[in-house]
Amino acid sequence: LSETHEFDVTVSAGELLESLDTEETDGGAGVSALPSAVTGPPWAGMLPPRGGWRERPGLPGPVDLRTRLADAVAEFRSRDAALPEDRRTREERDLIGRDIWSRTVGDTELPLRAVHAAQSLGFLRPAPDLPVALLTAGAWLRLRTPFGSIALRGTGGGLGTLAVTVGSV
C-alpha cells in the first residue's frame, strides 16, 4: 500500500537527504522522518539571489535613461498641476505616479521606478559612457552601474513547486 502525505514546511535539504533511509523495509520502501522546520528572519526570503545573474539585452544607454526619467518627472508635474484643487489628493497623485513609474524601459521588464531609484541614490550619474546593465536571476531584475545597483523582484518566477517523492519507483 502506498500513502501520500502533503506537507507545507521548509526544511534543510541536507537534513532531508540524511533522513532518507535507503535500506528497504519489509514493505519495499525506505523509512524516513521529516526533519524539523527551518525558520529564520522573515526578510531573508525577500533578498535577491547572490549568484546566477545574467545580462539581459534591451536596456537603453545612460543618456537615454536620464532623458526618459526627466520626461517622466516633467509629465508627473504637468499632470499634477492639471488636477483640479478638490482632486489634488495623495490618492490622485499616487495614481499618476503608479501610471508613470510602472512603465517599462526599452525592450525590458524594468519599470521606470527602478531608474528613478538609481538616479535618486546617485547610481545613475551624468556620464555618456557610464556602463549600465540589466541583469536577471529568476524573477529578479537588477539595474547595475559602477556606483551601485537596484534589485527588484518581478511578478513571476521563483522556485515554483518543489516536489519530493520518497519511495520505490
pLDDT of residue 163: 41
| Cα distances (angstroms) measured from residue 159 to each of 55, 66, 98, 139 | 20, 34, 28, 9
Yes or no: say if 139 and 157 are a contact pair by the CB < 8 Å rule: yes
pLDDT of residue 21: 61
How would residue 161 be classed by pLDDT, with cut points 50, 70 and 90?
very low
Is residue 82 predicted with pLDDT exceeding 60? yes
For the chain, what is the mean pLDDT? Answer: 81
Is residue 19 predicted with pLDDT exceeding 80? no
- Rounded-to-integer distance, Cα 27 and Cα 124, Å: 64
Average pLDDT of the segment spanning 86-91: 93
* Predicted TM-score (pTM) of this structure: 0.65
Is residue 158 predicted with pLDDT exceeding 60? no
Extract the runs of DSSP E, i.e. beta strands, from the chain. Answer: 54-56, 133-137, 140-145, 148-153
The pLDDT > 70 percentage for the chain reads: 76
Domain ranges of the chain: 1-40, 56-153
Which one, of 78, 76, 52, 63, lies nearest residue 157 by Cα? 52
Average pLDDT of the segment spanning 92-97: 95
Average pLDDT of the segment spanning 135-147: 93
How would residue 5 be classed by pLDDT, with cut points 50, 70 and 90?
low
- Rounded-to-integer distance, Cα 83 and Cα 130, Å: 37
Extract the runs of DSSP E, i.e. beta strands, from 2-97. Answer: 54-56
